[in-house]
Structures are given as structure tokens and as C-alpha cells.
Amino acid sequence: MSTLFEKIINREIPSDILHEDGSCIVIKDVSPQAPFHALVIPKKPIPRIRMAEKEDQSLLGHLLLTAAQVAQRENLDDGFRIVVNNGKEGGESVPHLHVHLLGGRQMTWPPG
């Protein structure tokens, strides 16, 4: 059964796409937690970061570099936050690895 993100990648569910390349897609979060909130989603369905393997190393780096490129394009010059949730207690709601890119306001610490 496909995850929500696989359906977005396959265009079965519409989404506001900010970037797409051969490895990932970046969409606006439908429930934003900051003035700017996007999700960087690998096209390879890795359920969670804990399940990534050594062969995924370059893909994981690509996700972070893509997040930084989108942040620059969106003028998040004063800063931004990158978050990866893992598991129920980590706040994971979709079992498909993704990177949250948040910005446009002062972030607080601790985050949650």
C-alpha cells in the first residue's frame, strides 16, 4: 500500500510542489508550523531515518542540500530549522522519511 507521500510523488494526490529532481520532491506542508514550512521527501520510500542504510548516504545528503537550496530561494536568510522525526514518540505521522524545513520566525529551544 502506498504512503501519502508516494501518492503525491506519483501525482495521485495534488500538492504545492516547490522543487523536484530525480531523487526528491519538495512540497509545502498542509499544516504549517511556521510561516514557511516545506517537506523534502525522497522518491525512494525509506520508512524512517532509523531504517536508512549505508547505500542511502548520498541520498540523505542530497535531501539536506536540497533543503538548504530551497531555504535560500525562499529568502530564509535570517535562519531556518531542519527536522527529521523518527517513530511515534518522535512525532512521525507518515511512515516515509522526510525532512521538515521551517523558517520565517524565531525558533525556540527546546523544540518540543
The verdict on whether 96 is a catalytic residue reads no
Q: Which of 37, 96, 98, 100 is catalytic?
A: 98
CA dist 72 and 36 (Å) reads 12
46, 85, 80, 70: CA torsion to nearest 10: 20
Indicate the residue type of 81. Answer: R
Q: Active-site positions?
A: 98
